[in-house]
Amino acid sequence: MKIFPYLLIASLFVLSGRSSTTMTDDSYDGRTGKSTHKVYTKYYDAGTWLIPKHLGIVAVVDHEKTRMPIVSGVQQSLGALGPADSYAMGKVTIYIWNFDSQSVPVKILRVTSGSEVITLENGVINALPKTKTGGVAGELKIFDSGTELPIMIEYELNGKRSKINLILPRRTEEDLAKYFGPKNGISPYPWDNSADRKSE
């Protein structure tokens, strides 16, 4: 009987598939009496500089699992979901943002997330001037109900090999409206950061 007060204090999290590629997160905090509701989309993304003020890179992962949410919910309640149901496929797209007036070739060599590896035979992205250029790198197996994804990108630029590590958050519907919406959307990438803009 002593467990009950602790259950009131703890936050209760309920994850349920809204569709094959979105996920809802409803939580209740017994201490504050407040409830929150998030809808995670199918998109993970993050970006950083390769050459500050000149060349940026963005990784986007598109959650691609196909399943029937109602059936999966029934299966889960009956304990009938197997190990394969915990995973999904994520399509990885790499974009290069070129802020210079000349094209720059960037060779993507490998994309890694945990034990999952994409090795590219011809991963050259010819980054066009003053725009973003990209292409699909391949697919990774990802955690179906994850909210972030760590990846490492190995690349070659100006004859030198290097690598970067990124943590890709899974974007909520609120995130998409804030960062990429049609009205005053400012991306979370460093080249859209106000401090960077002021220093240019």
pLDDT at position 200 is: 46
Share of the chain above pLDDT 90, in %: 60
pTM: 0.77
Q: Quick count: other Cβ atoms within 10 Å of Cβ 121?
A: 5
Q: Is residue 26 part of a domain?
A: no
Q: CA 152, CA 143: separation in Å to the nearest integer? A: 17
Predicted confidence (pLDDT) per residue in 161-174, tens digit: 999 999 999 999 99
Q: Is residue 120 part of a domain?
A: yes
Q: What residues make up the domain containing 148?
A: 43-67+81-199
Predicted confidence (pLDDT) per residue in 176-191, tens digit: 999 998 876 789 999 9
Q: Is residue 102 part of a domain?
A: yes
Q: Is residue 31 part of a domain?
A: no
Q: Is residue 74 part of a domain?
A: no
| Side chain identity at residue 98, one-letter code | N
Predicted confidence (pLDDT) per residue in 69-100, tens digit: 444 454 444 444 555 558 899 999 999 999 99
* CATH number of domain containing 50: 2.60.40.10
Per the structure, how many domains does the chain have?
A: 1
